Amino acid sequence: MVVEKYNTINKISALPVEGFKALQQESQLEGYKFLVRLENDWLNGTNTFSAAGEGLYELRVKGALVAIGGINIDPYGRSDADGRLRRFYVNKAYRRKGIGKLLVDYILQKHRSNFERVSLFTSEPAAGAFYVRCGFEKVLGVEKVSHRIELNS
């Protein structure tokens, strides 16, 4: 667990957590379905972020869930040293306030010893710009990868 001022980051061990349904609903109103997929995959056992080196995290501000994101072994990667940032969402009211970067930085630091590189895919320009600000590089010509960061280099 990490506490910075009123922010708390915790590893999630069961879904749904308090506040998840509201965050999920907000994401759906924006046209995103990946938090529905997160819950469905968790509940049916398809992806529980529980393989070695994986994790799903929540970020709370004064106790309220405002961001969620996880890291898996990249199913499209070349080896188990390839990680994939997945199911990352920040409450709209908390964007551009450092909350998302705080969670990305925490996940990457926490899993630096597990992965040599971390990839992700987004087709959203604003999300792409966010990941570049977090240190990811834009990737062209690689299927299912829009951004990647090399760790331990």
Is residue 152 one of the residues assigned to a domain?
no
2 falls in which pLDDT band (50, 70, 90)?
low
Is residue 92 one of the residues assigned to a domain?
yes
Task: State the distance between the two ends of the chain, measured CA to CA, in whole angstroms.
Answer: 26
Whether 104 contacts 88, CB under 8 Å = yes
Is residue 130 one of the residues assigned to a domain?
no
Using a pLDDT cut of 70, give the percent of the chain over it: 95
pLDDT for residue 39: 97
pLDDT for residue 152: 79
pLDDT for residue 7: 81
pTM of the model: 0.93
Whether 87 contacts 38, CB under 8 Å = yes
Is residue 122 one of the residues assigned to a domain?
no
Using a pLDDT cut of 90, give the percent of the chain over it: 89
pLDDT for residue 153: 63
Q: What distance in Å separates the CA atoms of residue 16 and residue 111, rounded to the nearest whole number?
A: 23
Q: Give how many domains the chain has, as a whole number.
A: 1
What residues contact residue 95 under an 8 Å CB cut-off, 6+ apart?
Answer: none
Is residue 111 one of the residues assigned to a domain?
yes
Domain containing residue 17: CATH number? 3.40.630.30
Q: Which residue range is the domain that position 93 belongs to? A: 2-115
What residues contact residue 88 under an 8 Å CB cut-off, 6+ apart?
Answer: 67, 68, 69, 70, 100, 103, 104, 120
pLDDT for residue 3: 47
Share the mean pLDDT of the chain: 93
Is residue 141 one of the residues assigned to a domain?
no
Instruction: Give the tokens for residue 110.
Output: 């926490």
Taking only the tens place, the pLDDT of each residue in 90-121 is 999 999 889 999 999 999 999 999 999 999 99
Please check the confidence at residue 1 and state whether its pLDDT lies above 60: no
Taking only the tens place, the pLDDT of each residue in 23-53 is 999 999 999 999 999 999 999 999 999 999 9
Is residue 139 one of the residues assigned to a domain?
no
Cα four-point dihedral sign 100, 103, 107, 109: positive
Is residue 16 one of the residues assigned to a domain?
yes
Whether 100 contacts 73, CB under 8 Å = no
Taking only the tens place, the pLDDT of each residue in 48-83 is 999 999 999 999 999 999 999 999 999 999 999 999
